[in-house]
Amino acid sequence: MATDTLENDDLPPFAQPPRKKRTDDELDMTPMVDVTFLLLIFFMVTAAFALQKVLEVPPVTEDEVSNQQVEEIEKDSIVVRIDADNVFWIGGPLWTEEQKAVTSLNMRAKVREAREGGPAGRGPSKMMVEAHEEAVFEKLVDALDAGSAASINEIRLAIVEDEEF
């Protein structure tokens, strides 16, 4: 008894079984899964770039405000002054005179040098940033970032008016 159709048991060894015909009721989920994974990867990558470095500033209360003289603070601190022309002047307790830095990169190097220049390679752990009132805010942030990058624990900030600078 010969038949034209083969049963699964009668198939040649490497032949594929006959495919089931798809009905129109089934929805192909493959493109939807692909799009979902692409969106997931996109949001993961963009979220990683949204992380920013934060400098923690504790709130100041009336009781904590001190009338400490600027000269006392500067005595054992690294001092970064930003003048009206946005030029940095860096002073340290071990230096006899302030050093000039025109670019932020040079300023970072000098702050790091002042921090590492003390006994046993550890200089002052405090920094005072004095910015002229007409200085660009970007330069002020660069100075604060330089102190943070140099592992300085305490950073003070002062905005100086024209006649005081």
In a domain, 116, yes or no: yes
> Residue 61: which pLDDT band, with cuts at 50, 70 and 90?
low
In a domain, 101, yes or no: yes
In a domain, 154, yes or no: yes
Predicted pLDDT of residue 123: 73
Mean pLDDT of the chain: 77
pTM summary value: 0.57
Burial of 66 (0-12, 13-18, 19+ CB in 10 A): exposed
Phi and psi of 82, rounded to 5°?
A: -120, 115
In a domain, 114, yes or no: yes
Please report which helix (H) or strand (E) contains residue 79, including its range.
Answer: strand 78-82
Does residue 13 carry a pLDDT above 90?
Answer: no
In a domain, 47, yes or no: no
Is the separation of the CB atoms in 130 and 161 below 8 Å? no
In a domain, 42, yes or no: no
Q: What is the mean pLDDT of residues 32-59?
A: 78
Tally of domains within the chain = 1
Helices (H), the chain: 30-49, 70-75, 104-116, 137-149
For 97, the domain range is 72-160
Instruction: Specify the amino acid at residue 27.
Output: L
In a domain, 32, yes or no: no
pLDDT in tens, 80-105: 999 989 999 998 877 778 889 889 89
Give the CATH number, domain containing residue 91.
3.30.420.270
Q: Fill in the DSSP letter of residue 102.
A: S
In a domain, 146, yes or no: yes
Task: Give the separation between CA 108 and CA 112, rounded to whole angstroms.
Answer: 6
pLDDT in tens, 106-157: 999 998 888 887 555 667 878 889 899 899 899 999 999 998 888 888 888 8
